[in-house]
Every structure is written in C-alpha cells, then in structure tokens.
Amino acid sequence: MNTLHSGVLKAGLILSPVLITVEELARTTVESNYVENEADPIADAASQLQAVSDHLTLWHTAGLLSIAYAAAWCLALLAIVVVIGRSRPVIAAVTGVLGLCSVLGIAMHAIFYYAVVGGLAQESDRTLAAQAASIGGDDLITIVGLIFFLLGTLLVTVSMAFGLWRARALPWWGAVGFLVWFGYVFSGPEAQVAALLNLALLLPFVAVARQLRTGRAVVQQPQPATT
C-alpha cells in the first residue's frame, strides 16, 4: 500500500463519522419543526413537507452530505477490511459483504427519503403531495432499502468491532468508542445533541488509521535456473 492509497483510506476513516454527524444535525434541525401526528397519516405527512419546504436548502444540504457520507463510509469500510483481513480473512469477508449492504442502504435512503420528500415539498398541490408522502414508505423497494440502511449499518459495525478485536487491532479506547455508538443506536434518540455521539466512531477509526502501513511492493525478480 503506497502513501496515496493509505491517505485516501485514512481520509475515509476520519471523514465518515464527521459527515454523518453534520448530516444528522442538519436533518434534525429541519425535522424539529415537524409535528408528528400518528392518528392522521396525511396531516402527519403535510407537517413534514411544510417543515422541509420552509428549510429546503438545509434539507438538500443534508441529502448531499448523506451521499458524501456513503462515499467516505465505503472507504472507511475498505480500510477496516484490509486491517482485519491481515489475520482474520473470514471475518474480513463477512464485514465486506455487510458493508456493501450498508452502503447500498445509505444510497437508497438518500434517494427515497431526501430526494422524494424534498421533491414533494416543492409541489404546489400540497394536499396531493401529502397524500403521496403518506403512502411512500409502503413500497417493497423502499422497505428493502430501509432494512439495508438500518440493519446493514448496525450489523457491519458489530462485525467490524468483533473483527478488529479478534485481529488485535482495537485498543481499549477504540472499544469505548464502539460502545458509546452502540448505546446511542439502541437508545434511539432523535435529539440534535444525540447526533454528536456519532463522533465516537472516530476513536476506533483512528486506531484503524494507525494500523495502515505505507510501503512499496516488492517485485520478485526471476532467478536463473541452476544446472
């Protein structure tokens, strides 16, 4: 792995927790103006669309950050798979497959959530838009994307934590970062301050970045045949 490759992977490791944190702060800022109404799905959707319409630029920013996060997360996963794969190739392979599901889910979330809701929020017929938004989550593809996004990201983080531990590449302070992140996920808070807990992933990711080594590949020269 040369210096450029190592630098790109390290950038993904550092940027991914930062990007998801900023994205979540932007999203929750918009949705803090949304009044949930479980009794009336159309009124509930109308409230969300109004909140997005009133803060459309911030909503688009959150969506673009989600796409950037998907790219950085992909690089971070690649770096982690490389480190785990040095001593635990099976766990590395599992982590890679789960990581692919996670990245696909993040991309689908950006399309089916940010793009769709943002588009409906700009429609002039708000009643029709609210009706469309109220049934948007019932489609099979949307459900699959949500499963990939939520379950895939959770499982790949469990796999990477286990793999790094088994590969002896996870210091105690990196393990603390994973534990903080898992506590945030399972508590399920939607408050803006909770988004900052995504930064806890910086601890294990910095540990992984320190494991990446640069150097030139050694090319074996053919030896003359002995007689």
Question: So what's the pLDDT on residue 44?
Answer: 85
Which tokens sit at 209? 């970045």
Handedness of CA 114, 118, 121, 123 (dihedral sign): negative
Query: What is the reported pLDDT for 33?
Result: 84
Q: What is the pTM of this model?
A: 0.85
Residue 109 confidence (pLDDT): 85
Q: For the chain, list residues with pLDDT below 50.
A: 215-222, 227
The letter for the amino acid at 60 is H
Identify whether the C-beta of residue 98 lies closer than 8 Å to the C-beta of residue 153: no
CA-wise closest residue to 51 among 38, 33, 36: 33
- DSSP single-letter state for residue 216: P
What residue segments make up the domains of the chain, in order of their start?
3-211
Please write the tens of the pLDDT for every residue from 200-218.
999 999 999 998 875 433 3
- Residues 100 and 108 sit within 8 Å (Cβ to Cβ): no
